[in-house]
Structure 1
Amino acid sequence: MEADLDHPEWEKLFDITLAKYGLGGGKYAKLADVLQLPGAKQPEPETTVGEMWEAYLEWKKTVVEETTFKEAFTTLSNALYGKVWNRKTNDYSQSDSNLSIVHLDNKTKIAIAIGDVKIYRKPYFVAELNRAFDFCKSKGMLVNPTTENPFVLDKFSTPAVTTQQKYASKIVNGEEKEWHEVLDEEELELDRRAFTKEERDIIIKAFYESTKSSDRVYAPLIEFYFLTGCRTSEALPLTWRDVDFERNLIRFSKSLGSSTRKVKDTKTGEARFFYFSDNSRLKELLLSLKIESSSNLVFPNKKTKFMSSSVIRNHWLGYKQNRTSVDGTEVEYIYPGIVRQLVEEGKISGYLSPYHTRHTYITLTAEANKHDNNALLYIATACGNSVDVILRHYLGLAESVSKGYTTRIKRADDQ
């Protein structure tokens, strides 16, 4: 209390209710009434966490991709406002914890509210609040410029994560999700584990020979992923104008947002060409699809629209669905996916996400060409990567490669 009264801006710091000093009750309660007599100038309350967050979002959506903003910040906003997913109503319900209404100068209440927030990757959530505070302070949005950042909380700093923890399933909004379902494309890009050549062939064959026609629909797309190493979002908006059978090339120049369902640039923002040979399996696959196609898209769904990445993932992994039986009881049905079944049957060593088809292609093709510097440069260019990344992260080498080009590389499907 003395420190606040001695401060040059004591009128802003001093709490007239004395609650800040633990003296808000009993005989001191009357003091607030005395100090709030008509004509007395009352201090303006500090900005709330919710007001800070909304101002930050208005700026943030102008500097990140629409898909990233929708996927990441919708989850963060729901956590901040205390919205929890209700599986029975398939909607959000309001919890008792609502961080948004707390004022930024109440560090104790903010720490308690953050502790009550239910969200996967809480350190990331707190880090984003930290950035939001710094943004608002830099824009002069705080009532009191001396208000300290309440989101510098050591107990929510990022802890060391073991491999077992990293790939364990997570509970998100009351639902259990696999590790890959809560990672974005950028994080999956950094997880460079791969299937073996034998496992790749087993997966492709399983999709083509599935007893379910709904699985077989996705077989050509899964094989295409394995044969090109493209990012999974880059194949979905591919049109026949992007495939040149005379020059034997595919032009990857766009991708499909998983949540917005809108066509956007590739991850690197650049178009790239992927070449294939006349007698390759890739050309054979594309020609067979072209003959049967009645759509402008190379991989359309049944309604000749874009395929859904989430539906593809369901056929790859499997999914659960709650249904209400005739007697009114809720029954959970489990629909196994192709890759999950293969893991359970012991036919492949472990589960990886559809995005790892990309890492599998790069790993197998780079290994087949590891002594050809020009070929490695071509692989990197065709996949929207760098030779340095291929050497260090796919081949485990630390050497550098001189730039050049090659007319022929050994592809994994040639082995």
Structure 2
Amino acid sequence: MGSERKASKGTVQIKTSNDRLQLVFSFGGKRHYLSTGYTDTKANRKLAEMKSRQIELDILCNNFDVTLERYKPQSQQVVFTPSVTPVVESYASLTDLWDSYTEYKRSSLSPSTLAKDYHKIYRCINVHLPMRTLDKAVAIRDWLIANKSPLSAKKILTQFSACCNWAVKSQLIEDNPFEDMASDIKVPKGDYEETDINPFSVEERDRIIQAFKENRYYKHYAPLIEFLFITGCRPSEAVALQWKHIVSNFTMIRFEQAVVVSQSGLTCKQGLKTQKKRIFPINNRLAGLLKSIQPVDVSSETKVFPSPEDKWIDVHNLTQRAWKNVLFRLDGMKYRKLYQTRHTFITMALKNGVDVKDVATMVGNSPEIIYRHYAGQSRELFLPEF
């Protein structure tokens, strides 16, 4: 084995041993030497590098497989039969294809997409799926349908198909066994966050805000919840606000960044979901709310809605703990997702006569989306005399 210097903690080093590439790293106070089975060629070096990045990402995300099974080559299965020489049947490995596909897409994807969406697929393949080779594509589809929501199963199969389409074009496999599988899955309309429109009433909105204010454990989040209801912004945009974004003497808010999940945890990134930035007008109620929570020694970089530890608020944790806990304790309150605060604002704005184009500008949607998903629901039908 070569005499390369020792890798730092959390870093995977590639070495050679008996003309085979080996991954060397430390975890849990133990030094690991994992053979890839690859000979030391330029092409195999790239495969080894992908494996090393997987291990580094798993260590970073606390998903490391201490058995190391997840990181061993899976592209071949040895089948033993009695009284004959063992043969090797080559089955394309979904694990290996997804790793290669992710590496191919890496330069065109944001860190949050890689850490959240692509790593979620990676975990599905390596942690949950009981079968991982392309000859089991139908069984994989059936398992996903049985164990995932229709929307999740459809998304995963869509990604598998995209991966295999790439693999076909790259001449890694001959055909795509997942082709058209996703199109057969019907997703209930309400499963889509942006189109799952079930707004709260004014009374329900006010009860929720008051419940947060009175809650012993979660009253810290009351200003944020009220802010979401009276601005209709996305939760990721609200938690990313800093006082430098409250401009023109409390008359405007400049939304221009969002807190997302990345490989290193929560990250504040520039830009919004559908645009680079937008301006939101502040009315008297909103101005009063912001002034009531502004610190005395505020700076431009101070967070408007910090966590209790003065960090970025994790919207997922906020939903799973505070939001669910408070709503489940409200008698007669039908549970709805935190994102319904946005739908509530848009619906109320339309009912109060705000022009569709103005609503679209304030919340960062197109007028077409507002017309299609909100305007028809918020107007009462009226048949004139004729």
Instruction: Using structure 1 for the length normalisation, give the TM-score.
Output: 0.62
What is the CA distance between 1:159 and its match in structure 2?
A: 3.0
Which residue, 192, 196, 201 being the options, matches 2:201?
196
What is the CA distance between 1:297 and its match in structure 2?
A: 0.9
Q: Spell out the pairing of 1:192-341 with structure 2 (5 A cutoff).
A: 192-210=197-215, 212=216, 214-246=217-249, 248-258=251-261, 260-264=265-269, 265-277=271-283, 280-291=284-295, 294=298, 296-318=302-324, 337-341=325-329
Change (3 A) 1:380 1:293: farther
What is the CA distance between 1:299 and its match in structure 2?
A: 0.8
1:181 corresponds in structure 2 to: none
Q: Spell out the pairing of 1:42-81 with structure 2 (5 A cutoff).
A: 45=90, 47-81=92-126
1:284 and 1:308 map into 2 onto residues whose CA distance is 25
Q: Spell out the pairing of 1:36-47 with structure 2 (5 A cutoff).
A: 45=90, 47=92
1:393 corresponds in structure 2 to: 373
Q: Spell out the pairing of 1:377-388 with structure 2 (5 A cutoff).
A: 377-388=357-368
Change (3 A) 1:137 1:224: same
**1:127 has 2:158 as partner:** yes
Change (3 A) 1:287 1:137: same
Contact persistence 2:228–2:342 (CA under 8 A): yes
Amino acid at match of 1:228: T
Contact persistence 2:275–2:364 (CA under 8 A): no
2:97 and 2:208 map into 1 onto residues whose CA distance is 48
Superposed CA offset, 1:319-349 (max 9, x none):
xxxxxxxxxxxxxxxxxx111211xx11x3x
Contact persistence 2:260–2:266 (CA under 8 A): yes
Where does the alignment leave 5 or more consecutive residues of structure 2 unmatched?
A: 1-79, 380-386
**1:356 has 2:337 as partner:** no
1:112 and 1:246 map into 2 onto residues whose CA distance is 60
1:180 corresponds in structure 2 to: none
2:378 and 2:347 map into 1 onto residues whose CA distance is 16
1:381 and 1:215 map into 2 onto residues whose CA distance is 32
Contact persistence 1:392–1:398 (CA under 8 A): no
SS at match of 2:357: helix
Superposed CA offset, 1:103-122 (max 9, x none):
x4xx3x44345545675233
Q: Spell out the pairing of 1:81-96 with structure 2 (5 A cutoff).
A: 81=126, 83-84=127-128
Amino acid at match of 1:352: R
Superposed CA offset, 1:89-113 (max 9, x none):
xxxxxx8x240xx3x4xx3x44345
What is the CA distance between 1:311 and its match in structure 2?
A: 3.1
1:406 corresponds in structure 2 to: none
2:251 and 2:312 map into 1 onto residues whose CA distance is 24
Superposed CA offset, 1:348-383 (max 9, x none):
3x111111111111110111115xxxx332221111
What is the CA distance between 1:309 and its match in structure 2?
A: 1.1
2:35 corresponds in structure 1 to: none
SS at match of 1:188: coil
1:321 corresponds in structure 2 to: none
Q: Over the residues paired in the alignment, what is the CA RMSD in angstroms?
A: 3.1
1:140 corresponds in structure 2 to: 171
Contact persistence 1:316–1:340 (CA under 8 A): no
2:56 corresponds in structure 1 to: none
What is the CA distance between 1:290 and its match in structure 2?
A: 1.3
What is the CA distance between 1:149 and its match in structure 2?
A: 2.1
SS at match of 1:60: helix
1:40 corresponds in structure 2 to: none
Contact persistence 1:258–1:309 (CA under 8 A): no
Where does the alignment leave 5 or more consecutive residues of structure 1 unmatched?
A: 1-23, 34-42, 85-94, 168-186, 319-336, 400-415
Superposed CA offset, 1:206-244 (max 9, x none):
11122x1x3110000100111111100001121111002
1:45 and 1:159 map into 2 onto residues whose CA distance is 30
The number of equivalent residue pairs is 291
Contact persistence 1:79–1:119 (CA under 8 A): no
Amino acid at match of 1:339: L
Change (3 A) 1:354 1:44: closer
Contact persistence 1:233–1:258 (CA under 8 A): no
What is the CA distance between 1:387 and its match in structure 2?
A: 1.9
Instruction: Using structure 2 for the length normalisation, give the TM-score.
Output: 0.67
1:21 corresponds in structure 2 to: none
1:302 and 1:157 map into 2 onto residues whose CA distance is 44
What is the CA distance between 1:140 and its match in structure 2?
A: 2.7
SS at match of 1:255: strand
Change (3 A) 1:305 1:293: farther
Superposed CA offset, 1:107-164 (max 9, x none):
3x4434554567523343222211111101212334xxxx23222375x75433457x
Contact persistence 1:366–1:390 (CA under 8 A): no
